[in-house]
């Protein structure tokens, strides 16, 4: 156990500069963006290999929290919805330190929707394979150093970061020209999404298919005038 702790301390010291949470930094710009619906569906999630068990509700809670924290920083004037489907996961169980320590991984499928147009901005569902990343905890295996909730929180935060980077890399989807072009097309239906997903897009490919358009809440009717 002393060796395990020593390795963890040394690794944490070497990697501490890389472990800073980038949520404390200004968000990377990719156009006028504001988060509308934050939809996560994990009912089809499958554990792979040796893994701690997690319920669909636990994954949905963890991913909604991570996506919300990351994308609520954007305060643009155009609403977009993010739909995430959890396809598979492995949450590391305690193993032999360093040599055989298992790793945690999460597989998700993501679609992003333009609220006004009722269409996805991405032509095909995007699949991500998410790992915990290198840290003092994962060097010796997070099954030994983290609880299940901590593993899920780390994977969810890394997933939200990958989604964010993907949108930044594809900022052309959010230009005024792209927005105007989508607005001229008919809204997508659930059937359209199913056809576009194909057979290998993962069980979460149809997540958030054709989400309802966000509209302002109706104002209450004025009450009777007060008596004089």
For residue 136, being part of any structural domain is answered with yes
Q: Average pLDDT over the chain, rounded to whole? A: 78
Tokens 């997508």 sit at which residue? 188
Domain coverage including residue 131? 28-197
* Interaxial angle between packed helices 148-169 and 56-71, expressed in degrees from 0 to 180 and rounded to the nearest 10: 50
CB atoms within 10 A of CB 84: 28
CA distance linking residue 96 with residue 11, whole number of Å: 18
Q: Are 169 and 106 in contact (CB under 8 A)?
A: no
User: Does 60 fall in a domain?
Assistant: yes
- Structure confidence at residue 138 (pLDDT): 42
Is-above-0.85 flag for pTM? no
Answer whether residue 103 is part of any domain. Answer: yes
Please check whether residue 217 lies inside any domain of the structure: no
58 domain-assigned: yes
Residue 7 lies in a domain: no
The number of distinct structural domains making up the chain is: 1
Residue at 215 is within a domain: no
Q: Is pLDDT at 17 greater than 50 in this prediction?
A: no
Domain assignment of residue 160, yes or no:
yes
Looking at residue 208, what DSSP letter applies? T
Domain of residue 161, CATH code? 3.30.160.150
For the stretch 142-178, pLDDT in tens is 545 688 999 999 999 999 999 999 999 999 999 999 9
State pLDDT tens for residues 96-137: 555 555 789 999 999 999 999 999 999 999 999 999 875 444
């Amino acid at each position: 156990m002393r060796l395990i702790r020593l390795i963890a301390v040394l690794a944490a010291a070497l990697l501490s500069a890389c472990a800073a949470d980038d949520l404390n930094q200004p968000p990377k710009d990719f156009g006028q963006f504001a988060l509308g619906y934050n939809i996560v569906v994990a009912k089809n999630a499958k554990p792979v290999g040796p893994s701690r068990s997690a319920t669909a509700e636990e994954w949905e809670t963890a991913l909604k929290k991570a996506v919300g924290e990351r994308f609520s920083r954007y305060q643009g004037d155009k609403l977009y919805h993010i739909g995430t489907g959890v396809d598979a996961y492995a949450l590391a169980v305690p193993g032999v330190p360093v040599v055989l320590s298992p790793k945690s991984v999460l597989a998700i499928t993501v679609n992003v929707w333009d609220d006004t147009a009722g269409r996805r901005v991405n032509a095909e569902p995007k699949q991500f394979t998410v790992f915990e990343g290198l840290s003092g905890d994962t060097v010796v295996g997070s099954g030994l150093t983290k609880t299940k909730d901590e593993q899920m929180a780390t994977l969810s935060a890394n997933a939200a970061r990958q989604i964010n980077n993907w949108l930044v890399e594809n900022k052309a989807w959010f230009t005024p020209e792209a927005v105007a072009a989508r607005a001229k097309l008919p809204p997508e239906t659930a059937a359209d999404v199913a056809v576009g997903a194909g057979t290998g897009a993962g069980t979460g490919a149809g997540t958030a298919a054709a989400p309802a358009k966000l509209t302002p809440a109706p104002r209450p009717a004025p009450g009777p005038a007060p008596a004089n």
